[in-house]
């Protein structure tokens, strides 16, 4: 029974297009099923006489003609309209082939959900008219595979405006009838070339001879008395048998669900193609991110190795070439050499990170990219803006502190560089950290980011932003503290002090070692004892160089070191690639959608192969 097909289609549509799609299809059908009247839908190209035919049928039924039913050469019908008569509901549809896809879809939806379909064609019988008619008869207008969706009595073909075919029925009735028969034969022959099996009845109709009553909103039935013998309207009315409603309604229900299945199949196919394309992009992005991560790891390893070697070599050069006699002179030479070599290292290494980030922006953000690519683009751009900005001075400060600490002039050098005496550093750091800890978490990052801008507390450009932040808990106290002279002036200043405290022990160890090496260099070189001692001290210096390199490479409390930059770029890269779980979900979605789409396709194919809609 057709109910079995309906249930199969319902389940397949729900699986392929979702429960809402099946619910909408069911709701649309109930609007049709709730009526006991025979539902007759007229479909055909624009200006094929559909509206004139409905008007004539209503007049013959002695039913009022609704105001919307106008008849003219323009395309009057833009929506589905209904006209009710005794036991019949006539449905007018937008003209097919009007270059409006929405109109065609509306007409086809009405074709599916109707008891009886009247297809109008013009006497000229254009090739497109034949194609549309054949598609309706063989069911390919309903589903891509066709089927016997119109049982006997469910489809009638009307050659409308037969009086416009060249023979006037009033002047030459015999000639008119012969012409009508030729037109009928032409339609039948055209259908036989496209469709196998039984063909629907073909009736030639003259709904309004010469359009005499086109402008009369409520013509009388007597006005058409002259042509009733030959105008075909009586034959058409006989074909509209309201007594067949139960049988035709069952076929209409199946046709309605089959059409919904075809629409759902198109949607599922499009969704499947989109999901497959998305998975391919995800996999390509994942592969590309892995390549970029490998390059990032290589840049990181090379930069770390070079930094260690550069610091060690510069220390050895000072030992082997310097002839200074004081700690102050030694500190100046070490500072100058290390600042220079680390500045070059930092500029070259950071440029490699920025170049890699720029590549990621291009390779992971193609034209028309999805949201994931937009995420990586944003993250990488933020990285480039921050890391690509000049950072000279950060490593200078670390290296100056490294050399200065432990020397006789350590306190003076620190005070000149940091603005705070060494003995006061712990107190200021403790006070600063307590104020930072009181900042509300919601504005913590934004506060430190703003206060990290050089001159932010004195530049009028930032006055509004500073004032806005001071409304939040703890921010006003921190800003007030930073404004006080003789203390910490900014988050960067605090970070500098933290690095100073961190490197104090290392610098205190290495300065005496380097100085002793220098003195021994100037002494008796032939002494094996001195050579052995120099070797031992050089090993110690190498260790100090390695520790200083690690400090520069390290993340630091605010992730300001080299490794912090590398980690930030790695995070930005990974934001553009799906993880294993996301890829698995995408693959599973494709598998599920493929199975649902194939299941729906199978139902439609089997329905097309069925002998009748009641199989």
Judge contact between 121 and 187, C-beta under 8 A.
yes
Mean of per-residue pLDDT scores for the chain:
80
The span from the CA of 237 to the CA of 422, in Å, is: 108
Question: In this predicted structure, which of 325-339, 405-419, 500-514 has the lowest mean pLDDT?
Answer: 405-419
Flag whether pLDDT at 6 surpasses 90: yes
Radius of gyration of the chain (CA): 44
pLDDT tens-digit profile of 42-84? 998 877 888 899 999 999 999 999 988 865 544 455 678 899 9
Helix H segments across 138-172? none
Report the pLDDT averaged over residues 488-500: 76
Highest-confidence range of 109-123, 174-188, 592-606, by mean pLDDT?
A: 592-606
Average pLDDT for residues 411-440, to the nearest whole number?
Answer: 71
Tokens of 524: 């008796």
Report residue 315 as tokens: 């220390």
Task: List CB contacts of 126: < 8 A, sequence separation 6 or more.
Answer: 45
Instruction: With cut-offs at 50, 70 and 90, classify the pLDDT of residue 422.
Output: low
The residue that leads in pLDDT, 548 or 529, is 548
> Nearest to residue 195, comparing CAs of 133, 279, 152?
133
Task: Look at residue 376 in the predicted model and tell me its pLDDT.
Answer: 55
| CA distances (Å), origin 75, targets 47, 169, 210, 246, 443 | 7, 27, 19, 34, 62
Residue 13 has pLDDT above 80, yes or no: yes
What are residue 202's DSSP bridge partners? Answer: 157
Q: Which residues of 107-135 are buried (b: 16+ CB within 10 A; e: fewer)?
A: bbbbbbbbbbbbbbbbbebeeebbebbbb
Does the pLDDT at position 93 exceed 80? yes
Q: Please tell me the least confidently modeled range out of 227-231, 279-283, 404-408, 586-590.
A: 404-408
- Structural domains in the chain plus CATH codes: 36-137+154-240 (3.40.50.300), 322-574 (no CATH)
Query: Is 533 or 485 the better-scoring residue by pLDDT?
Result: 485
Tokens of 133: 């008619």
423-432, 506-515, 543-552, range with the lowest pLDDT: 506-515
Look at 419 and 111; give whichever has higher pLDDT.
111
CA distance 536 to 541: 9
**Of the candidate ranges 25-39, 331-345, 416-430, the one whose mean pLDDT is the lowest:** 416-430
What pLDDT score was predicted for residue 402? 44
506/501 Cα distance (integer angstroms): 10
pLDDT in tens, 123-176: 887 667 788 888 888 889 899 999 889 999 999 999 988 888 888 888 899 999
Beta-carbon contacts of residue 240 (< 8 Å; ≥ 6 apart): 38, 40, 57, 88, 116, 156
Question: Minimal CA–CA distance to 337: which of 399, 428, 252, 401?
Answer: 399
What pLDDT was estimated at residue 468? 83
The H-assigned helical ranges of 452-555 are 463-469, 475-483, 491-521, 528-553
**pLDDT tens by residue, 353-369:** 889 988 888 887 554 44
Q: What is the pLDDT, as a whole number, of residue 46?
A: 79
Half-sphere exposure of 570 (CA within 13 A, CB side): 15
For residue 115, the Cα-to-chain-centroid distance in whole angstroms is 42
Over pLDDT 90: what percentage of the chain? 31
């Amino acid at each position: 029974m057709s109910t079995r097909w309906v249930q199969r289609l319902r389940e397949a549509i729900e699986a392929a297009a979702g429960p809402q799609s099946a619910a909408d299809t069911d709701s649309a059908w109930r609007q049709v099923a709730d009526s006991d009247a025979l539902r007759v839908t007229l479909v055909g190209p624009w200006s094929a006489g559909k509206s004139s035919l409905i008007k004539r049928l209503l007049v013959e039924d002695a039913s009022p003609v609704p105001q919307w039913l106008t008849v003219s050469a323009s395309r009057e019908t833009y929506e589905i309209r209904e006209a009710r008569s005794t036991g019949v509901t006539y449905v007018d549809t937008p003209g097919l082939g009007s270059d409006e896809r929405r109109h065609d879809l509306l007409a086809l939806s009405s074709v599916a959900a109707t008891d009886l379909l009247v297809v109008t064609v013009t006497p000229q019988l254009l090739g497109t008219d034949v194609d549309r008619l054949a598609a309706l008869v063989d069911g390919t207008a309903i589903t891509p595979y066709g089927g016997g969706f119109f049982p006997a009595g469910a489809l009638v073909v009307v050659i409308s405006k037969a009086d416009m075919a060249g023979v006037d029925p009033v002047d030459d009735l015999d000639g008119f009838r012969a012409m009508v028969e030729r037109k009928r034969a032409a339609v039948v022959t055209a259908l036989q070339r496209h469709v196998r099996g039984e063909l629907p009845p073909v009736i030639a109709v003259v709904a309004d001879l010469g359009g005499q009553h086109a402008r009369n909103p409520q013509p009388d039935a007597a006005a058409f008395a002259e042509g009733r013998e030959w105008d075909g309207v009586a034959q058409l009315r006989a074909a509209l048998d309201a007594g067949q409603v139960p049988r035709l309604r069952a076929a209409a229900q199946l046709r309605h669900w089959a059409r919904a299945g075809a629409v759902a199949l198109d949607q599922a196919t499009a969704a499947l193609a989109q999901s497959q394309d998305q998975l391919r992009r995800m996999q390509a992005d994942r592969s590309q991110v892995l390549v970029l991560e490998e390059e990032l790891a290589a840049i990181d390893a090379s930069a770390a190795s070079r930094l260690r070697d550069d610091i060690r070599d510069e220390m050895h050069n000072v030992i082997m070439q310097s002839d200074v006699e004081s700690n102050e002179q030694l500190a100046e030479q070490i500072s100058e050499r290390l600042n220079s070599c680390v500045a070059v290292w930092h500029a070259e290494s950071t440029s490699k990170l920025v170049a890699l980030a720029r590549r990621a922006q291009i390779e992971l953000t193609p034209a028309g990219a999805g949201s994931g690519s937009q995420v990586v683009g944003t993250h990488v751009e933020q990285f480039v803006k921050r890391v690509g900005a000049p950072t000279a001075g950060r490593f200078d400060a670390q290296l100056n502190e490294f050399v200065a600490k432990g020397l006789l002039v350590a306190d003076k050098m620190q005070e000149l560089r940091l603005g705070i005496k060494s003995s006061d550093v712990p107190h200021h750091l403790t006070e600063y950290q307590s104020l930072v800890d009181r900042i509300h978490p919601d504005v913590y990052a934004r506060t430190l980011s703003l206060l990290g801008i050089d001159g932010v507390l004195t530049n009028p450009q930032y006055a509004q932003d500073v004032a806005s932040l001071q409304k939040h808990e703890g921010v006003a106290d921190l800003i007030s503290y930073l404004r006080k002279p003789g203390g910490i002036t900014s988050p960067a200043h605090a970070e500098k002090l933290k690095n100073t405290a961190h490197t104090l022990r290392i610098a205190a160890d290495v300065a005496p070692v380097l100085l002793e090496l220098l003195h021994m260099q100037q002494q008796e070189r032939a002494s094996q004892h001195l050579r052995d001692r120099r070797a031992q001290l050089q090993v110690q210096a190498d260790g100090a160089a390695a520790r200083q390199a690690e400090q520069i490479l390290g993340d630091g409390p605010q992730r300001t070191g080299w490794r912090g930059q590398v980690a930030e770029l790695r995070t930005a890269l990974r934001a553009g690639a799906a993880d294993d779980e996301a890829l698995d979900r995408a693959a599973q979605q494709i598998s599920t959608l493929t199975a649902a789409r194939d299941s729906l396709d199978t139902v439609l194919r089997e329905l097309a192969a069925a002998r009748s809609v009641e199989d």
